[in-house]
Structure 1
């Protein structure tokens, strides 16, 4: 055998469920072709074989983020990052510094604004106005389902009062029907966002490649992308035309309220289209919005009397669209955060066969009654969850906006990762970047700790919902592969599987989670090609 690449190390977690210990992996033609011990390497090595010694590193199947938005995120994360602001005054200072020196007509964009900074007061554009000096500004809140626009930006967009939408979107207005600047959900946000300057396609293609390279450096080898908006296909194609993408990307375009038969046919026709390392696979729905915005769908209103309706004005239309796509063999992924949203999504999926191209799945599942866990099991529906949403944006004492809106009982069933997994529900983990950081090491750690990694003084949120190290790792590997219909070619290390591999400086199944969160990734490969090599790796 003449392998292209051979990796050696003391510890390899193949996740195959058994077999003798593995110390070496041979790769050829983008696939794993052999596993064995260091003694086997001589028989695999040819004149052109590269042998890489990972030292004390631990090799695992490549990590796949189960829910992220890398292309859309390029625009969502443009300009000023407010995600680190810990007070409204700090956010204002960041905006003012960015606006200073800009042309009076120049736009200011920002992202990651935490509604908790408003301290329970109404979320309006008033704090933005003075900070940006009368310039047009568009500031996205951390959940990416809402934004604040300054009065100047609203005037440019012609938004001067309430609007009607085909989906549950809102231009929030005061008692005089004057916009407050708060825009809820995509249709309302797009009224202003469509006027915000967009970087040229070649620039975004380069930015995408740089972003994916940064993701590869954290150990990611792939991602399930929950959108395909605007010119995303052209951006990805342009990035791949320049050079291979550092990650494999699987896109699920949106299906929105008002879709007709032609629209459904177009979504079916898109399936399988793509390039060398990206493809369309599945369709994304949203049955509700977010709890922080009051746009989730709850069985009972939140503390402010909100979150009582579906994102689809006619939920039965959602169910018909899901079933039509399922009948065509298309797997669906439904954003469902509130308990009523999850219940309705499960009802729509009842009795449907599992598509060969992947499983039907529900995304987020932030507050879940016990009675619905059994439906996940009976129907084979995948749970796709983001542990850092819990650890970054909620608090154990329920003083955060999310918990306050829900009340103690519903906040007490937050992100029930362990209950779902223990019941036998396939559990895929991810970040939802740019809503939360993409680094999988911290997601793996937070999934176990139920608090932010590196912050031991923070009380964990529902600590009994913490996953074991193996469960967390499987959420990024075997479970992600199964959900995508790729269990036969990825998610494990065995001959015939894709050579998508991640090497950690520590053992993710043995290291304390706080240590794992900051441990280097020493090597990442996609299809046998090294897309990230740490400084300590010899070859």
Structure 2
């Protein structure tokens, strides 16, 4: 080390994830990068008059945690209002909505989110089930999957939704046999029909909410997030504005959406957009959807679900998806594709396999992968396609398959749910994340669930597909080294070594060896992003 460090992290148990040096007790940082890794005896050689020495008191220091799938900006909109995630049945739902309606002022709406499909007890989602509780107050409720919503009768009237609509993508306004909307809006285009009438926050409020959210994320140990949307182009101006007066506490890598109907000009725009970046944010890739969700009946399955649905792709012409991915790959642009059903996963892998250039094949990821047969598992590693999964989504299923997701897909497909371990054992790159706001962004909960196959602090819950549990090291790699590999950043991120970015997370316990339930509740001692301490307990 030739220069004096800005910051030294000492008295730590360092899990470097560097095969050349797997452990250490001190790390030196200068100008946002790691400049030395060693033992506490080396500290005096790194220290200068103005070096900040942080005693981690035996905490375990790891590469900075990166959420592999998150929606910070879109999520703020999706998570606005009343949180209904605790409602387990219609009585609880109606009580919560009635309380909110009574508290509403003149002209107010009830906005809510996080509602589990299981709360309807197997009944079709319909505004008739909630309108009486709302007593005329318009309501818009996002279901937990993020791909569907329930609008009350007055809300439908306000938006002028009085019958079915035709969309360029797989989306629909669910109607009864007489053509009257039930209020169930499935997929983004259908939900967007409400945009013109829903209440909106002003830009200043959204700026402060976003900064507060990112600070809260940093406090859980996150130093970065792969952001899976760019719905509002104004987000880039917002991020630039934040960096004019400070720094983002969390590094953001953003993948804007490419939707069905995108023409050559639109694809060229997405290629050009890859140049947009700031100090801690950048456009990095493009997001596709190959299907929707199981519970909404829009996951693309090889065989129909129990309602005879799930046999269509999100792109009405799947070949158009393939052409779009290939055009981006030839331009060196990475892609991530939402694919939940087995047919959707297969089609994405087929699309990548049609690329002749191995370098172009290595640019792709598949998101979610909720059910997949044995035949597709080895293709991930063979083709170089990364798997991106969210273990905490298991909370919406049950080991006995008595839940909406399992009932929809049937026992055979439910038995192969979220095959994290099979993918890792087959040699695939496996990225872990939360899909916030679909599940909480706290990485400790995801790390624990990946090992337990149930939510932490619920030992009474039977694990879902227990054989798919990851080891503690595999789970940590999913948030660090494998996350970096999935976006081509393995030479600058994902390990603790000289020359790597000083994105670091310190835990009060060892996240690899401590019991998983303890990891979920363990204090985060320190979070460092780009050499700056953004959280310290």
Fold shared per TM-score above 0.5: yes
- Distance (Å, rounded) in 2 between the aligned partners of 1:210 and 1:63: 18
1:140-184 deviation digits (Å, cap 9, x = unpaired):
000000000111111111110000000000100001000000000
Instruction: Give the alignment partner of residue 514 of structure 1, picking from 491, 513, 517.
Output: 517
After the TM superposition, which of the residue ranges 227-236 and 336-345 deviates more from structure 2?
227-236
Report whether the alignment pairs 1:362 with 2:362.
no
Partner of 1:86: 88
Q: Which digits, 9 at most, give the CA deviation of each residue in 1:183-214, with x for residues without a partner?
A: 00000000013321211112111100100100
Alignment TM-score, normalising by the size of structure 2: 0.97
Counterpart of 1:207 in structure 2 is: 209
- Corresponding residue of 2:197: 195
Could you tell which deviates more after superposition, 156-165 or 228-237? 228-237
Q: Please, what is the CA RMSD of the aligned residues?
A: 1.4
Tell me how far 1:239 sits from its aligned partner. 3.2
**Corresponding residue to 2:188 among 183, 186, 189:** 186
* Partner in structure 2 of residue 419 of structure 1: 422
The alpha carbon displacement at 1:355 in A equals 5.5
The Cα shift of 1:351 comes to 4.1
Please state how far the C-alpha of 1:114 moved relative to its aligned partner.
Answer: 0.3
Distance 1:388 1:417 in 2: 12
Deviation of 1:354 (Å): 5.7
Checking the alignment, whether the CA contact within 8 Å between 1:330 and 1:357 is kept in structure 2 is no
**Which residue of structure 2 aligns with residue 309 of structure 1?**
312
Determine the C-alpha separation between the residues in 1 that align with 2:240 and 2:196. Answer: 23
Report how far residue 107 of structure 1 moved.
1.6
Q: Match for residue 107 of structure 2?
A: 105
Q: Map of 1:330-409 to 2, 5 A cutoff?
A: 330-352=333-355, 353=357, 359-390=363-394, 392-409=395-412
Contact 1:298–1:339 (8 Å) recurs in 2: yes
Q: Deviations over 1:456-492 (max 9, x none)?
A: 1100001000001110000000000011111010000
Task: Note the C-alpha offset of 1:21.
Answer: 3.6
Given the alignment of the two structures, is residue 530 of structure 1 paired with residue 499 of structure 2, yes or no? no
Picking from 265, 272, 276, the partner of 2:275 is 272
Q: Say whether the 8 Å CA contact 1:206–1:239 is kept in structure 2.
A: no
Q: Encode CA deviations 1:382-417: one digit per residue, 9 max, x unaligned.
A: 000000112x11100000100011111010000000
Could you say what secondary structure the match of 1:255 adopts? coil
Give matches, 1:42-121, under 5 Å. Answer: 42-121=44-123
Report the secondary structure of 2:282's partner residue. strand
Number of equivalences: 533
In 2 relative to 1, CA 451–519 (structure 1 residues): closer, same or farther, beyond 3 Å? Answer: same
Residues 199-278 of structure 1 mapped to structure 2, 5 A cutoff:
199-230=201-232, 231-278=234-281
> Cα offset for 1:9?
2.5
* 1:464 and 2:467 correspond: yes
Which residue in 2 is equivalent to 1:537?
Answer: none
Secondary structure (helix, strand or coil) at the match of 1:228 reads coil
Unaligned stretches of 5+ in structure 2?
none
The answer to whether 1:26 aligns with 2:22 is no
Does 2:484 correspond to 1:481?
yes
| 1:376 Cα offset (Å) | 1.2
Equivalent residues in 2 for 1:110-189, closer than 5 Å: 110-189=112-191
Shift of 1:59: 0.2
CA contact (8 A) 2:164 2:179 kept: yes
Q: Determine the C-alpha separation between the residues in 2 that align with 1:194 and 1:234.
A: 22
Secondary structure at the counterpart of residue 67 of structure 2: strand
CA distance in 1, matches of 2:294, 2:393: 12
Aligned to 2:18, the other structure's residue is in SS state coil
Contact 1:205 1:238 in 2 (8 A): no
- Residue 11 of structure 1 deviates from its aligned partner by 0.8
In 2, Cα distance between equivalents of 1:36 and 1:388: 36
Matched, 1:5 2:27: no
Q: Distance in 2 between matches of 1:20 and 1:204?
A: 42
After TM superposition, where is structure 1 displaced by more than 6 Å over at least 4 residues in a row?
none
Output the CA distance in 1 between the equivalents of 2:358 and 2:285. 12
How far the C-alpha of 1:357 sits from its partner, in A, is 12
Q: Give the match for residue 437 of structure 2.
A: 434
Q: Note the C-alpha offset of 1:57.
A: 0.7
SS at match of 1:14: strand
**CA displacement at 1:359 relative to structure 2:** 2.9
Deviation at 1:20, TM superposition (A): 6.6
Assess if the C-alpha contact under 8 Å between 1:23 and 1:36 holds in 2.
yes
1:282 aligned onto 2:307: no
1:496 aligns with 2:499: yes
For residue 428 of structure 1, give the secondary structure of its aligned residue in structure 2: strand
1:29-60 Cα deviation digits (max 9, x unpaired):
00000011111111111111100011021000
Distance 2:525 2:487 in 1: 27
